[in-house]
Structure 1
Amino acid sequence: MKRIVTLLLLAGSLSGATAQQRPAVTARLEPDSVFIGDRFDYVIEVEKDLVQVVEFPEFRSPGGGLELVASLPVDTLEREGRRMKLRKRYRMAAFEEGRFNLGTGQVLYADKNIIDTLHTADSLLLRVGTFQIDSTSQSIYDLKGQKNLPFRFAEIRSYVLWGLALLAVLLVGLYGVVRYLRQRGRGLGSLFRPAPPLPPHVEAIKALETLHNQKLWQNNRYKAYYSGLSDILRHYIVRRWNIGALEMTSDEIIEAMRGVELPDKARRDLSSLLRDADLVKFAKAEPDSEQNENDYLKSYYFVEETKPVVEPAEGEKPDSELKKED
């Protein structure tokens, strides 16, 4: 009902136009002969005046072995002056054998206060065929089971040969490594041993140089800088004298170090450095650049002055004597 009212309004708005010949409607099937399961197009074409109003039907699945698949948009085929040609396609499918009369093609037409249905001259016939099986000359068999082919070595021969070649290369490489280690008095297990730890003074010097290169105090990160200096010295004291400096306060470290034989300057530098670090970490002090650099040098020379003295091996001369000979 809503569609009819809309057509009447459109037709009324054109009532002042000159009377025109009614639209011409044609319809066809593409193709008109199919097999079961195939699709075909039901095509309706209308040739009309520009101001004439037509509406194509809304198809639903007609049943009886036919089914609507898609209703395609209306296409404008031609437009010349006031005349234009429209086409509408309905894509359908057939699922039963037989001959089907689809009737005449039709569209709704609105002219002034009249709504009419325009039909094609002829009905549309569809023939749906099926596949014929001659049971006298063709036998029907059940599905055959899966057939397993025999295994052939030739199918994997190339993979086996490449695998053996790779294994031979690995064995030759392993033999070379073992022979190299034996010539140097080492076993294969030495490859998997962790590297020996650095001496305490070497580890501390490397850590101090890394901290100095980070330029922390130059970027106003005083707490991070002095925390780094203090931590490096604490680790060094732990490894060098086996004193639990990591869990001690600065005063406790100074007291514990009284029993260690140290140069007087090294002892004073350690006390001064630990107290400077406490002022920065807990009192938020901001030392000037000269003090920051001096505290780094104190830490560096504390490690250098307290590192273990390596005794020369028998037959070797001390470094001091070698320097004098040079």
Structure 2
Amino acid sequence: MKRLFLSILFVSLTMSIWSQVTIDQKIDTMQILIGEQTKLTLSVTLDEKHHKVSFPKFERSQYITPGVEVLECSNIDTLGVEDNLIKYSKSYTLTSFDEKLYCIPSQSIKVDGKSYQTKDLALKVMTMPVDTVHTEKFYGPKDVQDNPFSWGEWATVFGYSILFVLLLILLAYLINRLNTNKSVIKPIKFIKKVSAHQKAITEIEKLKEEKAAVSEDQKSYYTRLTMILRQYIAERFNFDAMEMTSSEIIERLRDENEGAIEEMVSLFRTADLVKFAKYSVLANENDQNLVNALSFINDTKKEEEKPVKLVVEENEVEKKVKSQRRTLKLAIVVLTAAALFALIVVIYKVYLIV
């Protein structure tokens, strides 16, 4: 009796579980033309308890049956239904390229490791019907036709092309202007070169005009006088008299066999006494020393052709020309960049259209 009761309970539980699993299989359409697609949907309905559901797996381009190809498999979709049930479904996109009536075989769906089989389905693949009676309606294949020309597509290309050409013309003009203004005639100022004896005589004349300062500061007076003579001797005889002592200058002049040496000896001796020994000189001695200095310069001067020195000076016209050249160079750089940009836009637009 106890065994009979357990058997009845087991059968009841098994029938209860079986009644909670519902398998379904459907296809969107049972007739398609060659190359068309249809969807096969498998579904299983269970209670809300946790169950492991496994649907058939097909790779892309795998045949579900010979002649019927699987193009795509969707993910498992979960949907809650009434009476605390959950519906799991999965779709398969099918197609075929052979005219035939196919049998879609039953598929196995596993629930918690147990397999459930679906029913077989039919799929009819048909070709396009051809009218064999009205043959006059048949036309041969048409030639490849070009797309109609559209100004809207090419407007940007033509606009930037014209801009590119105009920029090239303007660039050529500016480069020509820059080359034309390359050689600029600069004004030349002629400056006469003053000889050594003329400069010395001029400085001595200035010193004579300052007689009032002689009696007050004889040291400065003789310092200036000897500096004028040293500068003249250095330029006239080509040795560094500015860095030599009075005795060295006299010795060097003796070697040059120049006249009026004795007057110069007296002048330099007097100058050294005034500068270093605070010697006081009479007015007539000052005049005599000036006369001796002028005599020495006149006796030793060298008459030569006065050379002319060319000095280039930049006037306002030259500055303006340089400013214009800088502006032209900057404009050329900017226009070159703009022309390159226009060319790039034209090439890119043509690439998109073609």
TM-score by length of 2: 0.36
- TM-score normalised per structure 1: 0.39
Greater relative contact order, per chain length (Cα 8 Å cut-off, separation 6+): 2
Structure having the larger proportion of residues in helix: 2
